[in-house]
Amino acid sequence: MNPWSAISIGLKEIWANKFRSLLTMLGIILGVSSLVAMSALVKGMEHGMKEALVAIGGVEKIRIDPEDIPAEQRHLEDQAVGCTIRDVYALQRSAPLIKLVTPEMRGMGYLHLTRGDREVDWASVVGTWPSALEMNEHVVEHGRMFNELDEENAWNVCVIGTGIRDQLFGSPEEAGREIIPIGESINIKGQPFRIIGMFQRYESEQEQKERELAKHQPKQQETGPARRRGWGNRGRGGYVFSAKNKTLYMPLSTMWAKFRQGGSGTNAVPDPRLSALLVKVADVELMEPALQQARNVLMHTHKGIEDFEFETQESWAEEITLRIRNARLSGGMIAAISLLVGGIGIMNIMLASITERIREIGIRKSIGATGADVFVQILMESVVIALLGGLAGLLASFGLVRFLGLLSPTENTPVITVTAMTLAFTFSAAVGVLAGLVPAFKAARLHPIQALRYE
């Protein structure tokens, strides 16, 4: 008997017992859809966890900070040069495992941002190169980033984040419209700067959803005296986004010339040391060799004085991986159990069904069906039930995910992945085979005469 006729016999048998088959399938449908939905939820969670990590530049980003000279090299202190722009060039030249190097220089003391009577409570004011955009995953939405010309002339230009705009010009929520302050002027520690560009608004998916939701709902009336409501509702990694929105970039040379006037006397050269070097490795898998390479290069430019240290986001990434794995494991376990229960349901029904059909099996055997034919027929019935249930489960999972989305609209959007669907479908097929084995074996072993005589 060819497999197609086995499948068509299976389908007929299922069609003949529609209601019973549907009930049997329900177990598989629930199992598959919960497996897919569970994995979609975890995937959404993973996106939510990773978006903050991505927002600060991803795992590939390594920060090189100046560090105190180690005790055993203290006597070489007067020869130490610190982190300088030479390190940047050296790394670009000699460290092939590092694909991007960006210098970062901050002002001496806090650089106060003001405009008229408005001021910014806190901001990250950094002098850097245009490559900082790629390094820190910034996107200039309005205007432009400064270029080599701005750098060359150390012009007073800056690119700001929306958080700074909100505090100096007013947020879209206050103003009722988006203010784009390109061409406007602000003061940085008393010096006038022209805004030439503004980044896009960075926010987590959850914050964005909450904002979208708030748009359509009437604003809740504040009750009681007006007050600040503290730091709640920041969400996981929410501070990463609010900090990123309060970034101000200016050309490195501008920062050096205008805000590094340390020391005393008119001839004093501004301090050329960098606040940090940011590098991106070409391949996360080669993180350690890349670090080794960078260290070798820097030890050379620093004359063997180890006055720097590396900082990576590995532990953050590892923590995310760990948490996702745990969530996936526990969720998958529950879904797998429900799929297993579905399989037991199939086996139960198949056993009942072959007892009902002993005579049929006897007839089939008497006209020439082999044990293998009967085995395949019963197994196929079980597999067909499981596969139909699996398919229906995949369809149901879309509905389930949508339903879950309606329940908690601000949660990270569940993402149904092809992998999860394939996995769940494969599982349902495997469950069908496993559930069909015992009944099929029992049916195949029936003796034709005894089966024919069975009443």
Q: Which is nearer to another protein, 7 or 85 (CB)?
A: 7
Binding flag, residue 243, another protein (CB under 8 A):
no
Cα separation of 171 and 398, whole Å? 37
Binding flag, residue 138, another protein (CB under 8 A):
no
Binding flag, residue 402, another protein (CB under 8 A):
no
Binding flag, residue 7, another protein (CB under 8 A):
no
Binding flag, residue 41, another protein (CB under 8 A):
no
> Strands 308-311 and 61-66: what pairing?
antiparallel
> Using CA atoms in the order 89, 107, 153, 100, what is the torsion angle rounded to 10 degrees?
30
Q: Are 230 and 172 in contact (CB under 8 A)?
A: no
Cα separation of 451 and 455, whole Å? 9
Instruction: Report the residue from 16, 139, 226, 407 that binds another protein according to the rule CB under 8 A.
Output: 16
Q: Which is nearer to another protein, 11 or 286 (CB)?
A: 11
Binding flag, residue 407, another protein (CB under 8 A):
no
Binding flag, residue 411, another protein (CB under 8 A):
no
Would you state the structure tokens that stand for residue 249, as one six-digit string?
């970039």
Instruction: Report the residue from 22, 154, 182, 363 that binds another protein according to the rule CB under 8 A.
Output: 363
Q: Which is nearer to another protein, 424 or 446 (CB)?
A: 446
Convert residues 415-454 into a mask of x (bound to another protein by CB under 8 A) and - (unbound): ---------------------------------xx--x--
Q: Are 97 and 289 in contact (CB under 8 A)?
A: yes
Task: State the minimum distance, in angstroms, from the CB of residue 16 to another protein.
Answer: 5
For the chain, the helix, strand and coil percentages under 3-state DSSP, each to the nearest 5: 55, 15, 30
Instruction: Report the residue from 368, 406, 407, 418 that binds another protein according to the rule CB under 8 A.
Output: 368
Q: What is the 3-state secondary structure (H, E, C) of 360-416?
A: HHHHHHHCCCCHHHHHHHHHHHHHHHHHHHHHHHHHHHHHHHHHHHHHCCCCCCCCC
Q: Which is nearer to another protein, 14 or 290 (CB)?
A: 14
Instruction: Report the residue from 93, 359, 403, 422 that binds another protein according to the rule CB under 8 A.
Output: 359
Q: Are 331 and 38 in contact (CB under 8 A)?
A: yes
Binding flag, residue 360, another protein (CB under 8 A):
yes
Residues within window 369-398 making contact with another protein, judged by CB under 8 A: 369-373
* Residue the block writes with tokens 């700067």: 193
Cα separation of 252 and 249, whole Å? 9
Give the residues lining the site for another protein (CB under 8 A): 1-2, 5, 12-13, 16, 359-360, 362-373, 448-449, 452
